[in-house]
Amino acid sequence: MQKIANFQNGQKIAIYLPNDGEINPKYIQNFLKNKGFSVYLPVLIGKSLKFAKIGKNFRKNRFGIDEPISTEILNANQMNIIFMPLVGFDEFKNRIGMGGGFYDRTLAFKKRQQNYKNPKLYGLAFDCQEVAKLKTKSWDVSLDTVITPTTIYQ
């Protein structure tokens, strides 16, 4: 895991809680926790996402997904790494999400200003979710890396 993401002390890293058959990032969460990293989860704010530090208390959002109740909520551009679930992906690191556009709206700043180095975007998927070539739209934000159980696309 360390080699994949080049984790460094003090980084703020977002993961997600699996929903609807998404690959479970529990191993990553445990790795980060054991190494002392600050770990965040996405929270819905209107039509985009912010990232709340994981604590002990959670509440369900409007889609029934647990979100941390936290006093530390950050914008995406304050994160160093964001792990996100994928519905589909291609070898060019284009992604399909659940169709709500939450990640694309949240990460639109990366499309507008190519010089943003952070956050690095890591998609997690099963091998069977790879498709030959995705048709992308102007608002689609591609990934830096896709990780499946057998392959890493960088």
**Beta strands per DSSP E along the chain:** 12-14, 38-45, 48-53, 58-60, 66-68, 73-74, 81-85, 88-89, 95-96, 120-124, 145-147, 152-153
Can you tell me which residue has the tokens 């209107």?
46
Q: How far apart are CA 143 and CA 81, in angstroms?
A: 11
Q: How far apart are CA 47 and CA 40, in angstroms?
A: 19
**Residue-range domains of the chain with CATH:** 2-153 (3.40.50.10420)
- Most distant pair of Cα atoms in the chain: their distance: 42
Can you tell me which residue has the tokens 């993401």?
5
Supply the pLDDT for residue 125.
Answer: 97
pTM value? Answer: 0.91
- pLDDT bin (cut points 50, 70, 90) of residue 1 is low
Q: Which residues pair with 82 in a beta bridge?
A: 14, 121
- pLDDT bin (cut points 50, 70, 90) of residue 43 is very high
By CB atoms closer than 10 A (0-12, 13-18, 19+), residue 144 is middle
**Predicted confidence (pLDDT) per residue in 8-35, tens digit:** 766 899 999 998 889 999 999 998 988 8
The mean predicted confidence, pLDDT, of the chain is 89
Q: Does pLDDT of 53 surpass 90?
A: yes
Q: How far apart are CA 80 and CA 7, in angstroms?
A: 9
Residue 126: what residue type?
A: F
- Tokens coding 97: 């999400």
**In contact, 76 and 119? CB cutoff 8 Å:** yes
Dihedral of the alpha carbons of 60, 147, 141, 116, in degrees to the nearest 10: 100
